[in-house]
Amino acid sequence: VVMNNGILQVSISTPQGFVIGIQYKGNKNLLNVQNEEDNRGIEATNYKVIMRTKEQVELSFTRMWQPYTNGTIAPVNIDKRFLMLRGSSGFYSYAIYKRLKGWPGFQLFNNRMVFKPNPDKFHYMIISGNRQREMPLQQDRERGHKLAYEEAVLLPNGEVDDKYQYSMDAKDIRVHGWISTDSTVGFWQILPSSESRSFGPLKQFLTSHTGPISINTFHSTHYVGENFGMKFKDGEAWKKIFGPFLVYVNSVAGKGDRQMLWRDANRQFMNEVKSWPYKFPASKDFARSNKRGSISGRLIVKDRYVSRAGIAAKGAYVGLAKPGRAGSWQTECKGYQFWTVANEGGNFSIKNVLIGNYNLYAWIPGFIGDFKYHAAIRITAGSAKQIGNLVYKAPRNGPTLWEIGIPDRSAAEFYIPNPNPKYINKLYVKHDRFRQYGLWERYAELHRKRDLVYEVWANNYRKDWYFAQNTRKKGNKYEGSTWQIQFKLEGVVKKATYKLRVAVAAAHGAELQVRVNSRSARRPLFSSGSVGRENAIARHGIHGVYKLFNVDVPGKVLRKGNNTIYLSQPRKLDAFTGIMYDYLRFEGPDPNS
C-alpha cells in the first residue's frame, strides 16, 4: 500500500506493516533495500484503511493475540498506525498496545521503531549540535575487530565504533538522523513528547548509529537493568499508546548544506511541539487537548545549613508519574510520565497531562534526595490544578564538614582520563570524554600500586577523584577495590552521631561497604548489599539509576586529628562491575541536639 501526498511517497507491506520504501524528490528509495523481510520486527496480520480524505490518510496494521499461539508471540494486541497529512514532508507513526484481563503474563524488554536508511546515500549522522560526524560503514565494522562486547568494534582506521557511544538522555532527544553524502537530503525522527517513554527524563536511550540506523526508543532496559522490564502478571490488563512521532525528510537546492538541514529539522521539531497534542490521529485512544489537564505550583527547598530562609528550587525537575515511593519514577515503565523544569523562582507548570491518578515527584540539582508530594493527584479533562507552595526538606543531619562532587545525579564532574590511544572515537576528544571506549581499564593503569586515596584538605575532585570505582584485572581474574577518604577533625563529640551521605549515580553488580578508621574491620559499618544492574560503565553512560545511602557514623569511631573512611567495592564479576558516585558529604552532629 502506498501513501502519497505529492511530496513524499511511502510504501508499506501488507498486511505486515513494514515500511519498505520512501520516495522523495527523485530518490527512488531513502531506505536500505537489502534489509531482510524476516528481520523487520513485529509482523502484523491484518491491514485496514482507517481514514482517507483530501487532508490525510491513516493506515492500521494489527497483530492480535490468540490463546492458541502457545507462547510463540507475546500476549498483547498491537496496532501499528501510519499517517500522512496533506502538504507535509514526512509521515507520522504510533502504536497502540493492549492486553485484556485474563491473559497470561510476560515481560517486555525493548520497544522501538527502527529505520535503516540507504547505506549508499547516508553517511553523515547528527544527534545534537556537538554530536555529529561522518560515520563508518557497516562494511568497516565487518572488517574490524570485536572488542570486549560485540557492539564495540575496532575499525580498520584505528577508531572505535559502538552504538552506546550515541545514547542520549530522554530529556535531550529532540531530533536526530542522517544527511546524504551530497548534503542535499536529510532523514530525521522527531518525537515532540516523551510522555510515552519509560523511566523519566534521565533515562538514556539509543538513537542513531552505524548502519546507518535510526532508532526511536520508547522502552528499553539499557542503563536501568533487566529487572525493570515491563513485567505483566497473569490476568493483568493494560493499554498504552507509544507516540505519535514524525519521520521527517527535508532537502536543500543546489550545493548541499548539512547545517541548514539540521536547523530546518530543529525548526520542524519546535513546530511539532507547538502542535502537541496532535488533533489528527484517528484513534480514540489518543487523547486530544480537551481530554487532558494541567497542574502548576512552586517548589521550595529547606536546608537550614544552606539558608535560614526557603530556597527557590531553580532548575528542579518536576513530574507526574504513576503512584509509588519517592524516586520510583526512575523504574516506572507501564504508565505515562509528564515532566517540566522549574524556573528561577521555583515555579512550575505541567501541561497536557492525560486523565488519571499520579504522584508528583521532583529532584533538584544542587540537593540530594528525592521529593514526593504527600497527596495523590487526580487529573481530569480540562482541569487546571493550582497546588501552591510545596516544600522539600533536603536530607540534613548537621553542618557540612566536607563534601566531594556536585549533587546532580551524574559523575561527569569527576576525573575522566584520556582513553587508551588504541581506542579513540574522535568525536569525543574535547567533550563527553566519558563516552570513550575502555576507560574501565584506565583505572588500574593509573593506580598500579594502590587504590585511590583522596585527601580532603589537599585534593580536587575534578582532578583526583576517578569517575568510576570499578574492578581491576589481575591475571585472568578481577578484584575489587577500596578507596580512602582522608580528613581531619578539630574535635569529636563521642556520644553524637555523624552522617555520611553517599549519592550514587550508577552501579552494576556492585556492593558498597563503608568502614571508618579500620580497613580490616571484619564487619563494615554499612553495606548496601548487591546493588545495580545498569551497565553504565560498559555503555559509556555517566549515570544510571540514582541511589542515596545515608550512613550513621558513631562519634566513638572517630578521633581528633586524622581520620579515614574506606569505601570498598568487593564484588568482582567482570570488568564492568563498579560504582559511579554522584556526591559525598560528611555531616557533623546537630549543634542543637
pLDDT tens digit string along 476-529?
899 999 999 999 999 999 999 999 999 999 999 999 999 999 999 999 999 999
CA dist 119 and 58 (Å) reads 29
**Beta bridge partners of residue 372, listed in sequence order:** 361
Task: State which H helix or E strand residue 138 sits in.
Answer: helix 138-143
Q: Distances in Å between the alpha carbon of 69 and those of 64, 74, 79?
A: 10, 9, 18
pLDDT of residue 340: 98
2-275 matches 400-587 in fold: no
Q: Could you tell me which of 80, 31, 90, 37 has the C-alpha nearest to residue 59? A: 80
The stretch 293-322 carries a mean pLDDT of 97
Distance set, CA 419 to CA 81, 145, 335, 414 (Å): 44, 18, 40, 15
Segment 389-400, tens digit of pLDDT: 999 999 999 999
CB neighbour burial string for 180-207, b if at least 16 within 10 angstroms, e if fewer: beebbbbbbbbbbbbbbbbbbbbbbbbb
pLDDT confidence of residue 347:
98
Residue range 424-482, pLDDT digits in tens: 999 999 999 999 999 999 999 999 889 999 999 999 999 999 999 999 998 889 999 99
Average pLDDT over residues 274-303: 98
pLDDT per residue as tens digits for the range 429-442: 999 999 999 999 99
* Three-point CA angle 419, 123, 118, nearest 5°: 135
243-272 pLDDT, tens digit each: 999 999 999 987 789 999 999 999 999 999
pLDDT (0 to 100) of residue 577: 97
The answer, yes or no, to whether the previous bond of 15 is cis (omega within 30 of 0) is yes
CA distance 404 to 395: 16
- Report the alpha-carbon distance of residue 498 to residue 500 in Å, rounded: 7
- Dist CA 69 CA 63 (whole Å): 12
CATH class of segment(s) 400-587 = mainly beta
Neighbour count for residue 242 (Cβ, 10 Å): 24
- Please state the pTM of the whole predicted model: 0.96
Position 593 scores a pLDDT of 72
Q: What is the DSSP string of 442-456?
A: HHHHHSSSS--EEET
What CATH class does 2-275 carry?
Answer: mainly beta
Identify the CATH number of the domain defined by range 289-393: 2.60.40.1120
Task: Place 82 in a pLDDT band, splitting at 50, 70 and 90.
Answer: very high
- Domains of the chain, by residue range, sit at 2-275, 289-393, 400-587
Q: Is the pLDDT of residue 234 over 90?
A: yes
Round the CA-based radius of gyration of the chain to a whole number and report it. Answer: 26
For residue 414 the three cell numbers come to 569527576
Q: Considering all CA atoms of the chain, what is the largest pairwise distance in Å, rounded to the nearest integer?
A: 82
